A and B are shown apart, each in its own frame.
Chain A
Amino acid sequence: MNRREFLASGLGVVGTVAAGLTLGKGVWPLLAEEDLVPGEAPRARLDRQAWDTTPDRISFAALGDNGSGGRQAMAVADRMAEVYRDHPFGLVAMLGDICYYGNFEDRYDDVFRRPMTPLIDAGVSFELAIGNHDADLHHSDEGLAEIEAELRLLGTPGRYYTSTHGPADFFYLDSSVPGLLGDGSSEQLEWLEDTLAGADNQWKVVALHHPPYSSGEHGSTPGFDEVLQPLLARHHVDLVLAGHDHHYERTHPIDGTTYVVSGGGCKTTGVARRDFTAVAESTLEFLHVDIDGDRLTGTCIRPDGSVADSFTIRAREGR
């Protein structure tokens, strides 16, 4: 073997090993997890304001981690439009991570306007629990600019806020660090404590990005079981909606509160089952919720229209 043959064959062998590791452990799983292929926007035409919200009745949808603008995000958005046709809802609670692969200001049309056009045209309102940039959100100018853009473009009143629709009070939280954890988090927690204590509606729904309980890739958010869960239990919150992990999961009621992860807006990651898990599935999905009097019915719907989970919560006594 001469010098050239030695060099070329060595390069080939090293390249083979490097390619195997790079592709097998990095690139192909990434292609399978991400939603990079751009998709066509849904073209459904929906009846405007077809929902029926009364003091004891409301329908809404919850959607998390849908910010790719790819085919899978479009498939979920398309299914939402189809569901609206049969079961109209006037509100979409967005559970964070509404923009991937760029900043929201540049990608507003791709990740929000285009997929949601049928619902926007139908007059559906969107309320956001911010969630982009999972960590260090408030520690960079870019992070702050991203939050500002999201709040401004979606007309969101602030990083954390409350809204009332029919018989339900919604509490949207900024779950990033230091939103609910660490130094500087006491302000939001005090606000939440006071607002929950003052809420007198029949149903209390909390929406945030990071899940207090999850069996997925990210898992339960450390610290929430000490900081958030006792507070939610103390104020008899009925339903907590979260994203972050790209799957669907519902817990058994924990101190009377049901926790749902609905992060399958455009990507999927694996999910296991833990002792608090009632239902878990790695799938694209969104959650449709009907509140009618003392009964809350949640339905997790896959992009093909099939139902991954359906559950009912009865209102607490005295409400």
Chain B
Amino acid sequence: MGYSDNRAKELEARLQQMSPPPSAEETAKIRDAMNTYLRDREDRLSTLLALIGDTGDKRLGDVVNCFSQWLDALKRFGDGLNSTSDTSTSALIFVTRTSFEEKQAIDSLRATNVGAAHDVLIYRAKVLEEKIKALADKWDKLNGETGYFDATEKASVDAIRGLVDDVIRKTGPAADQLARVPNDLYNAVRSELKLLNESVSRLGKSVGLDGAARTVWEEGVKVIDPAGKLRSALTKEALKAAGVALPSTDDPNPSRELGESIRATSQFIDVLLQQRVNEYRDAIQKRTSGLLVLFNETYNDTKKFVEENGFDKAKERYQETSDTLDRWASELPSDGLKSDFGDYRKALLDRLSRHLSEIETMYNRFVRENQGRFLGPLGPDISEALTQTKKWEEYRVGLVSMGLDEKVRKWRDDLRGILVVNMRDAIEKTASELDDFDPEVRQQLQTPFEAFRDEVTKEAAALVAQVDQIYEKEQRVWSSDLVASYLDRRILRDALPQ
């Protein structure tokens, strides 16, 4: 009879030993009621075992119902035997004692909360399964947000790259275009001097230069006014009309590329770079206070979840139930009950242990899928996915390798060379043309020429100073270290679980 064999034998022996013995008729009646009860009980035990083995998540109600049905069977057993006063005292004792023993067995088994233990274990497996799905989904969601921030941050850096590219593009041709200016200047001045010299020489040939003729020549030179003509020819307007675009701080436009390179570089340094860097930093801040907060929340929740729902907890619950069932089986009031229910205890624990195994499998999967992500120290791939540190190092290297430093320095050096050296050479070379003039005329020309030389040198020096200033500023805002600081992502690393 399954889990009632020893109990049946025990009760039969007790029936045989009743003293004084009831009548044969009453004994048969008791035996019949007893067997009916034991059959009912066996059904309930089988049902209970099936319920505990079931993988449905809410079986407690059915378990409670099973115990109620068991109690009903016990009540039928008592009702059927001791309801009349002709019941023998022996029978009364037998029924009362048996009923109490059975009631104790039922109550104490019910008190083990084996039904609740079943539901809890099933629940824990399902919670783990649900959590695996939830965390995978959350990670996907967080990745979506990571993509958004990657794109936003990249847009800012792409803009910086564009600005750098613009500066580089615009500083490149400035020197090339300016390189012609000293030569043009030389040619224009030389040409003007030649014309003046020819006029003066022609006059000398026609009136002579000796004696009284010299006086006539001098009067003629006065009329020609070479100094005035040279002064007029060396104005910016006149030179511009002659195709010489002299740059100055007031008007760098004569050299369009120089002007654009100065403007682009200045703007880049003073406004645009800062704007883009701020945009980038704002995105980083939002990634930290939004995205990484969400990640940390999930990470911490997972840690708490493991503390409350980990396999250890399930093992504890199983062990508690196992201990309770041990006590139940060992504290039963008769040997027959102890023997039968000792086996039954094993069967119950066998069913529960299957659920525990399921939890272990699920838990291992949970750990496998989340280790390094939401569990334990973060894996490098996870950190990288969240902060994109390596990727951003590549961006940094890319920006630095655009050579903005070098390009701007070359721009500055080239301009300095043209404006300072080449222009000085051109003017000095032009000055040698004065040697061809009559000493008296040469002396007259010396003053406007020197004034012109001084003006050009001064303008060039001022322009060079402006370019130097831009270069110095550029040096202050753009270097490998500075670019690294603009793209600093340590705040992200620091915000991750340590």
Report if A and B associate in a common complex: no
A residues sitting closer than 8 Å to B (CB atoms) are none
